[in-house]
Amino acid sequence: MITLCASAAIAAAGAMLLTACGGGSTSDNPLLKESTLPFGAPDFKQIKPSHYLPAFEAAIAEKRDEIKKIAESTDSATFQNTIVAYDESGRTLDRVSRIFFALVEADKTPEIGEVEKKVMPMLTDLENEISFNKPLFARIKQVYDREHDSLQGEDKKLLEEIYKEFVLNGALLGDEQMKRMKEINLKIADLQQQWGDVVPEATNDAVVWVDKKEDLAGLSEADLAQCAKDAESLGKKAPYAIVIVNTTQQPLLASLDNRDLRRKVYEASVHRADGTGKHNSYPLVVQIAKLRAEQAELMGYKNYASYALEKTMAKTPKAVYDFLKSLIAQYKPKAEAETQAIQDYARKTMGTDFELQPYDRFYYSAKMKKEQLNISDDEVKPYFNIDSVLINGVFYAANRVYGLTFEERNDIPTYHPDMRVFEVKDKDGKTKALFYCDYFRRPTKRGGAWMEEFTKQSRQRQTISVVYNVCNNAKAPDGQPSLLTWDEVTTLFHEFGHALHGILSDCQYNKLSGTSTANDFVEMPSQFNESFASIPEIFDHYARHCQTGQPMPAELKERMLKSITFQTAYALGENLAATCLDLAWHMLSSSEVPTAEKAADFETQALERIGLLDAQIPPRYRTSYFNHVWGGGYAAGYYSYLWTEVLAVNIADTFAKLGPLDPATGQAFRDKVLSRGNTGDLMQMFTDFTGMASPDASSLLKARGL
Q: Render 560-609 in DSSP notation, one character per residue.
A: HHHHTTTT-HHHHHHHHHHHHHHHHHHTS-TTTPPPGGGHHHHHHHHHHH
In 72-174, alpha helices (H)? 85-88, 91-106, 110-131, 134-147, 153-169
CB-based contact 292:16 (threshold 8 Å): no
For residue 242, the cross-strand partners are 208
Say what the pLDDT of residue 338 is.
95
Rounded CA-CA distance 389/495 in Å is 13
The residue among 307, 323, 325 whose CA lies nearest residue 315 is 307
CB-based contact 335:614 (threshold 8 Å): yes
CB-based contact 227:210 (threshold 8 Å): yes
Q: Write the single-letter amino acid at 654.
A: T
The residue among 681, 640, 645, 629 whose CA lies nearest residue 304 is 629
C-alpha R_g of the chain: 25
Residues 6+ apart with CB under 8 A from 296: 302, 303, 304, 306, 307, 308
Rounded CA-CA distance 132/137 in Å is 8
* Span 425-479, pLDDT tens digits: 999 999 999 999 999 999 899 888 999 999 999 999 999 999 999 999 989 888 8
CB-based contact 540:502 (threshold 8 Å): no
The residue among 573, 581, 574, 597 whose CA lies nearest residue 629 is 581
Cβ atoms within 10 A of the Cβ of 536, count? 11
DSSP 3-state of 610:
helix
Q: Tally DSSP H helices, then E strands, for the chain.
A: 28, 7
CB-based contact 102:415 (threshold 8 Å): yes
Rounded CA-CA distance 507/679 in Å is 7
CB-based contact 306:606 (threshold 8 Å): no
| Angle between helix 175-205 and helix 282-298 axes, rounded to 10 deg | 160
The DSSP symbol for 280 reads B
CB-based contact 498:526 (threshold 8 Å): yes
Give 361-398 as a DSSP string. HHHHHHHHHHHHH---HHHHGGG-BHHHIIIIIIIHHH
Helix (H) or strand (E) holding 407: strand 405-408
CB-based contact 577:619 (threshold 8 Å): yes
* Span 205-242, pLDDT tens digits: 999 999 999 999 999 888 999 899 999 989 999 999 99
Which structural domains are found in the chain, ordered by start? 7-198 (1.10.1370.40), 206-270 (no CATH)
DSSP 3-state of 432:
strand
* CA distances from residue 413 to 41, 92, 500 in whole angstroms, order as listed: 8, 20, 22
- The secondary structure of the chain in percent helix, strand, coil, rounded to multiples of 5, reads 60, 5, 35
Say what the pLDDT of residue 15 is.
37
The residue among 387, 562, 378 whose CA lies nearest residue 485 is 378
Active site residue 355: no
**pTM of this structure:** 0.87
The separation between CA 570 and the C-alpha centre of its own chain, rounded to angstroms, equals 21
Rounded CA-CA distance 85/26 in Å is 24
Say what the pLDDT of residue 26 is.
61
The separation between CA 285 and the C-alpha centre of its own chain, rounded to angstroms, equals 20
* Average pLDDT of adjacent 10-residue blocks, the chain of 706 residues: 33 33 59 94 96 97 98 97 98 97 95 94 94 96 97 97 95 95 94 93 95 95 90 93 94 96 98 95 98 97 96 93 92 94 96 96 94 87 97 98 98 97 97 98 90 97 97 90 94 98 98 95 96 96 96 93 89 96 98 98 97 96 96 92 94 94 97 97 95 88 82
Order the strands of the 420-425 sheet from edge to edge.
Answer: 405-408, 420-425, 431-440, 465-473, 450-455
Say what the pLDDT of residue 479 is.
87
Q: Write the single-letter amino acid at 470.
A: V
**Among residues 66, 105, 338, 495, which one is catalytic?**
495
Sign of CA dihedral 131, 133, 135, 136: negative
Backbone angles phi, psi at 422, to 5 degrees: -130, 140
Rounded CA-CA distance 460/276 in Å is 53
| Angle (nearest 5°) at CA 627 between 249 and 685 | 100
Q: Write the single-letter amino acid at 282.
A: Y
